[in-house]
Amino acid sequence: MTFPSWIKKPHHYLFLKIFAWFWVTVIATITLLVFLSQLTSNVGNDELRGPMLKNLEYTAKSIERIVAKHGKPTQEIVSHPRLSKHKLLYLNGEVHGVEMLSEPISKEIDLSLLNFTKHMRPQVIFTDEYQAYGPVEINVPEGKFYLYEIDEKRKKPFFVGLWLMPTWLKLLIAVIASLMLSFFFSRNLIAPINSLKETAKKLSHGDLTARAVFSTAREDELGVLGRDFNTMASQLEQLITAQKRLLADISHELRSPLTRLKMATGLAQMQADDSQQAYLERIEKEANQLDKMIADVLQLSRLEARSQALSLSKQSVQVIVDHVLNDARFEAKQCHKELTINGQLHTDIPCDESLIASALENVLRNAIKYAHHHISLSLAESDALYITICDDGNGVKEAYLARLCEPFFRQEHARDRNSGGTGLGLAIAKNAISAHDGTLTLENQEHGGLCVKIRLPIKSE
């Protein structure tokens, strides 16, 4: 006979684990309630009905009748075997607390617990040592008594203690037990989900080495999901690493024929007549543009792979900004645009001067290119160095904002190189800042234009 897989291997299925934890919680809660009910001393009661009530009332009337008829002491009548056979009768007097028993108590039991029930309707009274039935009122010449029948051999039933516990205590125990078990179960269930969430966040931020932490022994759906997720992440890392390596290798290999092309163009210019010079100059210009693009691709590849050695030295970022601004002011003036600077930086930090300058230059050139009339650069420092570059251009669509720092990405309305560039400037800038443990973020301004915010941490060399 072939059994379904969920019967043969129940630990492979999450719904069976949930089912098991539910019943473990229920059983543990009931067990704890019963255990605590046995530790506590409880007195409880329930209304007396049926034959037991009728027998007790019949006994009370018999005592009254015999005492009235024969004039004997009540204690003697109560102790007579005809009445007290197989049962212990207890009378509690209304006046002076007189008590009578049909026979000596076989062990010490506390009958004073019955005092608070004298003015109640007939009850079944539960204590830890015995059960009592009563009271039923008896009027004899000696005074008024309350009759109880005591069953000292019969202790409180197992679940009566649980029923007698205060409602608030039962609820508190149930909540605490379920909270504790739910905590352990949720850790078992939510921990791998949180691991997946954190790993997915790291992957989305470019950390391709991130992997979800899962027990290799876990065989349920979450375990399978975690292993499949890690396999996917490994394949993704291999593909992207191979893509970057291929791009860097191709760029590196293109430099040799490009160098030869530039040399051949130079030789041809020396021998060409005036009618051919314009074509050769065009070839030279495109070759130089291609050379710059290949250099950018190689630099970006090294930055992304963190393989570019940083030439760190303690530098004044203000001096680096001033050097970049010399060219930026000239370029803005040529485009009939205004560049304003606010604030100043006073703190020196360990950094690679050429990388920081390259990042600032790329951002400023973009701002000058897309601004209508005005570009602003703000400098501030507190816990870190903050550099904000804003323009008054059209801004960027929100859908494109997150992708603007991706290599070769350009907006749809700026696909040609003359207006949109190669799409490498911001990618190089972001990776250059990241290499210094800083951040580069993009935001659209409320009244139009784009803001690039750079944060560089202040740290010792």
Give the model confidence (pLDDT) of 121-178 as tens digits.
888 877 767 778 888 888 888 888 888 888 776 655 555 555 555 666 667 777 777 7
**Mean predicted confidence (pLDDT) in 439-449:** 86
The pLDDT of residue 13 = 60
Q: What is the pLDDT of the chain when averaged over all its residues?
A: 77
3 state DSSP class of 455: strand
Q: Has domain 221-304 been given CATH number 3.30.930.10?
A: no
The pLDDT of residue 415 = 38
pLDDT at 453 over 80: yes
Domain ranges in the chain?
A: 5-40+166-192, 44-164, 221-304, 313-457
Nearest Cα neighbor of 365 from 387, 343, 389, 385 is: 389
Q: Is the dihedral of CA 247, 249, 250, 256 positive or negative?
A: positive
**Mean predicted confidence (pLDDT) in 372-401:** 88
Structure confidence by residue, pLDDT tens digits, 235-278: 888 887 777 676 666 666 776 777 788 788 888 888 877 778 88
Tell me how many degrees the CA angle 280-284-287 measures, rounded to the nearest 5: 135
Binned at pLDDT 50, 70 and 90, residue 417 comes out as very low
Q: Classify strands 338-342 and 374-381 as parallel, antiparallel or unpaired.
A: parallel
User: Tell me, what DSSP letter sits at residue 309?
Assistant: P
The pLDDT of residue 36 = 64
**Mean predicted confidence (pLDDT) in 102-121:** 71
**Mean predicted confidence (pLDDT) in 185-209:** 81
Residues 6+ apart with CB under 8 A from 335: 368
Q: What is the architecture, at CATH level 2, of domain 44-164? A: 2-Layer Sandwich (3.30)
**Mean predicted confidence (pLDDT) in 269-298:** 78
**Mean predicted confidence (pLDDT) in 23-39:** 69
Looking from the CA of 401 toward its CB, the CA atoms found within 13 Å total 16
Q: What is the architecture, at CATH level 2, of domain 313-457? A: 2-Layer Sandwich (3.30)
* 350 contacts 461 by C-beta, under 8 angstroms: yes
Give the end-to-end CA distance of the chain in Å, rounded to a whole number: 72
pLDDT at 416 over 50: no
Copy the structure tokens of residue 136.
Answer: 């039923």
Integer-rounded Cα Rg, in Å, for the chain is 46
Q: Which amino acid is at 447?
A: H
Structure confidence by residue, pLDDT tens digits, 12-22: 566 666 777 67
pTM of structure: 0.48
pLDDT at 97 over 70: no
pLDDT at 108 over 70: no
